């Protein structure tokens, strides 16, 4: 019958629009779709040794401090709560990633659940990236307060988002796919505040 079942990015329909906008606003602003990557929600008691076991499997350290993230060989480990992490991998298949992390965690009373399709990634880049996000996000996004290595679950407009700092001009926005269209519309609308040329920084 048909060819192989293919995955589709939740924001596929916005790709052209975002590419055009990013080209017009460079280097002030760029909005880029993140790749589809495997992701699990890991729940494990940090005192149980489960975190250590998971670190062995994912090949990197889990962040110890609240609202921070660490890099994994092919992904990220983001601390979402006292006993909760989001672990991503661009190399593994979702079901394999879930199985591997889950196996390590369950031995210590933890668990991992595949949430690969539960989250969509949008990159917000450019010299005005933080300013753009500040149109809808109440967090203190000054680079000193939200430096690279930090992450936060918060609100952007009326959508729940996970905001991840990779650099002063480089931020990652993780949002549920059903809200992704709203978030893109909101940011594209806000981007009209940033003229293509002669942009100057207006707020800290």
Partner 1 sequence: MSRIEGYGRVDRSRTVTVTVDGTEYTGHPGDTLASVLLAHDARPLGTSVKFGRPRGIGAAWVEDPTGLVQIEEPFPEPMVLASTVEITDGLVARGVNGQGRLSDVADVARYDHRHVHCDVLVVGAGPAGLTAARRAARDGLDVVLVDDRPEPGGTLTGTETIDGRPSREFVADVVAELAADPRVTHLQRTTAFGHYDDGLVLALERRERGASRQRVHRIRAARVVIAAGAIERPVVFEDDDRPGVMLASAARDFLHRHGVLAGREVVVFTSDDAAYSAAVDLHDAGAAVRVLDARARVPEVWARRCAERGIEVSADTQVHGTLGDDRVTAALVGAERREVPCDLLLVSGGWNPTVHLFTHVGGRLGWDPALGAFRPAAPLPGVEVVGAADGTLDLAGCLRQAGGADAPHAEEEHGEPTMVLWRTAGEPARQFVDLQRDATVADIARAVGAGMRSVEHVKRYTTIGTAHDQGKTSGVVASGITAELLGRPIEDLGTTTFRPPYTPVAFAALAGRARGDLYDPVRTTAIHDRHVAAGAEFEDVGQWKRARHYPQPGEDMTAAVLRECAAVRTGVGILDGSTLGKIDVRGPDAAVLLDRLYTNMMSSLKVGRVRYGVMCGNDGMVFDDGTVLRLADDRFLVTTTTGNAAPVLDWMEEWLQTEWPDLRVRLTSVTEQLSIFAVAGPRSRDVVGAVFADLDVGNDAFGFMSWQDTALDGVPVRLARISFSGELAFEVAVSSWYAPALWDRLIEAGRPYGITPYGTETMHVLRAEKGYPIIGQDTDGTVSPHDLGLGWAVSRKKPDFLGRRSFARPQNQDLLRKQLVSLLPVDAATRLPEGSQIVHLAEDGRLPAPPVPMLGHVTSSYHSAALARPFALALVKGGRERIGEVVGVPVGGELVAAQIGDTVLVDPEGARRDG
Partner 2 sequence: MQLIACPWCGPREELEFSYGGQAHVAYPADPAGLTDEQWARYVFFRDNPKGPFAERWAHSAGCRRWFTAVRDTRTHQFVSVGPLAGSEATP
Judged by CB, which is closer to partner 2: 146, or 194? 146
Cβ 160 to partner 1 shortest distance, Å: 10
**Could you tell me if 67 and 79 are in contact, meaning their C-beta atoms sit under 8 angstroms apart?**
yes
In 6-149, which ranges are continuous DSSP H helix?
15-25, 50-58, 94-106, 129-133
Residue 66 contacts partner 2 per CB under 8 A: yes
Residue 20 and residue 133: Cα distance in Å, rounded?
19
Whether omega for the bond prior to residue 27 falls within 30 degrees of 0, making it cis, is yes
| Residue 65 contacts which entry, partner 1, partner 2, none (Cβ below 5-8 A, type-dependent) | partner 2
Beta bridge partners of 112: 42
Stretch that binds partner 2, among 9-17, 65-73, 102-110, 117-125 (CB under 8 A): 65-73
Binding mask 103-122 for partner 1 (x = CB under 8 A): ------xxx-xxxxxx----
Task: Read off the tokens for 59.
Answer: 């090949």
Residue 70 contacts partner 2 per CB under 8 A: no
Residues in 133-192 at the binding interface with partner 1, rule: CB under 8 A: 134-142, 145, 157-159, 176-179, 181-182, 185-186, 189-190, 192
Cβ 38 to partner 2 shortest distance, Å: 22
| Residue 47 contacts which entry, partner 1, partner 2, none (Cβ below 5-8 A, type-dependent) | partner 2
Q: In Å, how far are 31, 45, 83, 124 from 131, measured between CA atoms? A: 13, 37, 32, 10
Cβ 153 to partner 2 shortest distance, Å: 5
Binding mask 88-107 for partner 2 (x = CB under 8 A): --------------------
Residue 144 contacts partner 2 per CB under 8 A: no
Beta bridge partners of 79: 85
What angle do helix axes 50-58 and 94-106 make, rounded to 10 degrees? 150
What is the per-residue burial (b if ≥16 Cβ within 10 Å, else e) of 41-64? bbbbebeeebbebbbebbebebbe
Give contact residues for partner 2 (rule: CB under 8 A). 45-47, 65-67, 80-84, 138-139, 152-155, 160
């Amino acid at each position: 019958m048909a060819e192989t079942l293919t995955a589709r990015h939740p924001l596929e329909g916005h790709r052209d629009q975002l590419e055009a906008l990013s080209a017009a606003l460079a280097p002030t602003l760029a909005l880029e779709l993140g790749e589809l990557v495997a992701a699990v929600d890991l729940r494990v008691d940090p005192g149980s040794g489960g975190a250590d076991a998971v670190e062995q499997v994912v090949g990197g350290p889990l962040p110890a401090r609240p609202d921070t993230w660490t890099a994994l060989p092919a992904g990220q480990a983001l601390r979402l709560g006292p006993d909760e992490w989001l672990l991503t991998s661009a190399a593994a298949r979702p079901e394999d990633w879930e199985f591997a992390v889950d196996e390590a965690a369950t031995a210590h009373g933890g668990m991992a659940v595949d949430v690969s399709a539960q989250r969509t990634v949008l990159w917000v880049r450019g010299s005005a990236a933080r300013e753009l996000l500040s149109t809808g996000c109440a967090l203190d996004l000054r680079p000193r307060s939200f430096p690279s290595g930090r992450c936060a679950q918060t609100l952007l407009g009326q959508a729940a988002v996970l905001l991840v700092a990779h650099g002063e001009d480089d931020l990652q926005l993780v949002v549920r796919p059903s809200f992704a269209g709203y978030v893109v519309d909101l940011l594209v609308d806000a981007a009209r505040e940033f003229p293509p040329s002669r942009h100057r920084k207006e707020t800290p």
